C-alpha cells in the first residue's frame, strides 16, 4: 500500500510515494527533482500524471449517486481516487469488493486517524493507496498500518487477487444431520422458462458450499408439478446468480437472472415472480471434505435435492450418510461479489 501526499492545500516537504496536486499549486523542487515521486493532478474529475496522461478518475462521494459514479470506473480506470465528504466504511468496502481482480486500483483520501485502519484493511484487502494531509500524527499511524499490512500478507503481490468466475463444478457432499428448523419465510422462485428434470439452482446458508435444489418438475401424488418453480428456502439463503455473484433470496426481484444448473451444464434463466410464505423448515447439514455447509428447506415432500446417482431425493426422506450434489465455492463474498478475503460463515 502506497502513501500519497495530499498537496491540494499547498506547500509541504514531506516525502511520499506520490503527490496529489489540485492543479493550481506549483510543486516544490524536492518533488520535481526526484524521478521516483509521481505527481497526479486533479482536473475536472480526471487524474492526470506528470506526463500529461489521463490515468484515472477522481470522485467525491457524498451519497449513493456518488458511489454509483465511482463504480462505473471500476475496470476502466487504472486509478480511482475517492474522497468521502462524510467518510463512511460501506462505500469504500463496496468499491474494494468491486475492484478486486478488475485491474483498477483505489486511492482513498483520509483526513482523520480513526479512518486509517478501516481503509487499510477494508475486506482484508484494503485500498491500494492512502491520500494523506500534511499531518505528522496521521502519517505516523499510516506508516505503522502500511507496515502491518505488508507483514500480514507476507510480502505477496497485493494485486494478485482475482475473482473466481465460470460455471460451477458439481460434486458429491455427505449429509451429516437433519433437524427441525422452525418456521421461516420460505421463498419459491418462479422462472420465466420451463425447467427440465435434473435442473435446479445452487443455494445455501454459506457461500462456501451450495446444495443443488431441484425444481418442482416431478409429479407428486398430492400436487401437480410446477416445472417453472424451485422451492429454494428461507429469505436469508444465498442463491447463485448467472453472472457468478450471489444474492440473498430476499433481494431477488423479477427480471434477475439466476444460474440454473444440471449435470449437463448451466444456463441463465430470468426470474418471473417470487412467492414468499411462512412454512415449517428442516435444517440440513452437509460437508465436502473439510468444508461444511447447511441449508434450510421447507419440510415438504415436493422439495428435493439431487443425489449422487443422478436421482432426486425428497428433503423429508434425507438421512445422515446420504450423498447429495452441490458446489464448493470456498470464497468470501461482499454484497454478492467474490472477494479474496477470509470469510467464515457458520
Domain of residue 187, CATH code:
2.170.16
User: 248 and 105, same structural domain?
Assistant: no
Verify that 147 and 232 share a domain, yes or no: no
Q: Are residues 105 and 181 in the same domain?
A: no
Asked whether the beta carbons of 15 and 154 are under 8 A apart, the reply is no
Q: For the chain, what is the mean pLDDT?
A: 82
Radius of gyration of the chain (CA): 25
Query: Are residues 180 and 47 located together in one domain of the fold?
Result: no
Q: 104: buried, middle or exposed (CB in 10 Å: 19+, 13-18, 0-12)?
A: buried
Rounded CA separation 168/239 (Å): 13
Q: Over 90: is that where the pLDDT of 148 sits?
A: no
Does residue 336 carry a pLDDT above 70?
no
Q: Write down the pLDDT at residue 162.
A: 29
Supply φ then ψ for residue 91, to 5 degrees: -60, -40
Say if residue 134 is in the same domain as residue 210: no
DSSP annotation of 50? T
> In angstroms, what CA-CA distances link 210 with 200, 203, 293, 304, 345?
12, 5, 7, 14, 12
Report the distance separating Cα 331 and Cα 346, nearest Å.
Answer: 14
> Rounded mean pLDDT of 254-271?
90
Residues 73 and 10 in one domain: yes
pLDDT at 165: 38
Nearest to 231 by CA among 269, 185, 193: 185
- % pLDDT > 90, the chain: 35
Residue 33 lies in a domain: yes
pLDDT computed for residue 157 by the predictor: 39
Q: Is residue 139 part of a domain?
A: yes
Same domain, 7 and 145: yes
Do 142 and 185 reside in the same domain of the chain? no
Q: Are residues 183 and 116 in the same domain?
A: no
Q: Which of 160, 181, 196 is the last residue of a domain?
A: 160
Percent of the chain predicted with pLDDT > 70: 81
What is the span of the domain harbouring residue 183? Answer: 171-339
Question: Is the residue at 166 inside a domain?
Answer: no
Identify the DSSP state of 327: E
pTM of the model: 0.57
Separation of alpha carbons 78 and 47, rounded Å: 10
Examine residue 106 and state whether it is found in any structural domain, yes or no. Answer: yes
Q: In total, how many domains does the chain have?
A: 2
141, 160, 179: which is the final residue of a domain? 160
Same domain, 208 and 87: no
* In-domain check, residue 345: no
Is position 344 within any domain?
no
- Comparing 86 with 170, which gets the higher pLDDT? 170
- Domain end, chosen from 129, 160, 191, is at 160
So what's the pLDDT on residue 229? 96
Domain membership flag for residue 66: yes
Nearest C-alpha neighbor of 41 from the set 50, 32, 33: 50
Please indicate, yes or no, whether residues 184 and 302 belong to a single structural domain of this protein. Answer: yes
For residue 346, being part of any structural domain is answered with no
Residues 330 and 265 in one domain: yes
Place of cell 524536492: 30
Angle at 40 between CA 39 and CA 42, to 5 degrees: 145
- Distance between CA 281 and CA 185 in Å, rounded? 9
Amino acid at each position: 500500500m502506497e502513501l500519497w501526499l495530499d498537496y491540494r492545500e499547498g506547500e509541504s516537504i514531506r516525502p511520499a510515494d506520490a503527490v496529489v496536486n489540485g492543479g493550481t499549486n506549483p510543486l516544490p523542487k524536492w518533488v520535481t527533482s526526484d524521478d521516483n515521486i509521481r505527481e497526479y493532478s486533479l482536473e475536472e474529475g480526471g487524474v492526470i500524471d506528470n506526463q500529461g496522461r489521463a490515468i484515472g478518475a477522481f470522485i467525491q462521494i457524498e451519497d449513493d449517486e456518488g458511489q454509483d459514479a465511482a463504480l462505473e470506473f471500476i475496470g476502466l480506470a487504472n486509478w480511482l481516487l475517492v474522497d468521502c465528504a462524510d467518510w463512511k466504511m460501506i462505500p469504500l468496502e463496496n468499491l474494494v469488493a468491486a475492484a478486486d481482480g478488475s485491474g483498477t486500483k483505489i486511492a482513498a483520501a483520509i483526513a482523520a486517524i480513526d479512518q486509517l485502519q478501516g481503509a487499510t484493511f477494508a475486506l482484508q484487502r484494503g485500498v491500494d493507496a492512502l491520500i494523506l494531509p500534511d499531518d505528522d500524527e496521521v502519517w505516523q499511524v499510516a506508516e505503522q498500518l502500511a507496515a502491518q499490512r505488508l507483514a500480514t500478507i507476507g510480502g505477496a503481490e497485493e494485486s494478485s487477487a482475482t475473482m473466481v468466475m465460470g460455471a460451477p463444478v458439481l460434486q458429491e457432499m455427505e449429509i451429516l444431520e437433519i433437524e427441525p428448523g422452525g418456521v421461516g419465510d420460505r421463498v419459491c422462485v418462479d422462472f420465466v422458462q420451463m425447467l427440465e428434470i435434473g435442473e435446479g439452482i445452487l443455494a445455501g446458508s454459506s457461500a462456501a458450499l451450495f446444495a443443488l435444489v431441484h425444481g418442482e418438475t416431478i409429479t407428486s401424488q398430492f400436487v401437480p408439478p410446477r416445472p417453472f418453480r424451485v422451492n429454494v428456502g428461507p429469505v436469508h439463503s444465498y442463491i447463485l446468480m448467472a453472472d457468478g455473484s450471489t444474492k440473498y433470496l430476499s433481494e431477488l426481484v423479477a427480471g434477475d437472472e439466476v444460474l440454473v444448473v444440471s449435470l449437463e451444464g448451466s444456463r441463465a434463466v430470468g426470474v418471473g415472480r417470487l412467492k414468499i410464505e411462512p412454512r415449517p423448515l428442516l435444517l440440513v447439514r452437509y460437508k465436502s471434505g473439510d468444508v461444511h455447509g447447511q441449508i434450510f428447506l421447507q419440510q415438504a415432500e415436493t422439495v428435493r435435492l439431487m443425489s449422487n446417482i443422478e436421482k432426486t431425493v425428497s428433503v423429508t426422506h434425507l438421512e445422515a450418510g446420504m450423498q447429495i450434489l452441490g458446489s464448493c465455492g470456498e470464497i468470501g463474498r461482499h454484497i454478492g461479489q467474490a472477494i479474496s478475503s477470509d470469510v467464515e460463515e457458520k
